[in-house]
Amino acid sequence: MAHVIAVYPGTFDPITLGHEDIVRRAARLFDQVVIAVATAHHKKTLFTLDERLALTRETLADLPQVRVEPFTGLVTVFAQAQGARVMVRGVRGVTDFDYEAQLAGMNRALVPEVDTVYLNPGPTTQHVSSTLVREISMLGGDVARFVSAPVLARLLEKRAQRT
């Protein structure tokens, strides 16, 4: 059987327990998972690229078959450069699916040899998004049940810097 590399792209600003759930399940399905952390030139991020890379690496350090790499530009080009045959995407619901199906279709048109696999987060993390975690945290809310301990610590530092 061929060695299958999967790429899981995203901004991961910050990485949440929902992302972690998807990565851990993808790591059971594929020989290697490359977490592709986008530079996010089109978004204003709370965490710098280096911070997002470090938090993602720390969160997933117990998974030897998972690598965390930065990328800029087209994810399809990055996936090809990694030798990936699969793109992993998390889909929380119908709204995500509509967008992700369109994205997968375009990616397939660009790089037909890379297939997209959708994974649904577990019921305890299905409602979690990085955007909501950032907003709730910056407004003083408790997000401890949505992120790992290292991510929570950095969110609290960021919140303290803004006050």
Give catalytic residues, as residue numbers: 19, 43, 92, 130
Core vs surface per residue 96-135: b (16+ CB within 10 A) or e? beeebeeebeebeeebeebeeeebbbeeebeebbbeebbe
Q: What are the φ and ψ backbone dihedral angles of 93, each rounded to 5 degrees?
A: -170, -170
Amino acid at 58: E
Instruction: Supply the DSSP symbol for 49.
Output: H
Give every strand in the sheet of 86-90, ordered side by side. Answer: 66-71, 32-38, 5-10, 86-90, 115-119
Nearest to 154 by CA among 10, 11, 9, 15: 15
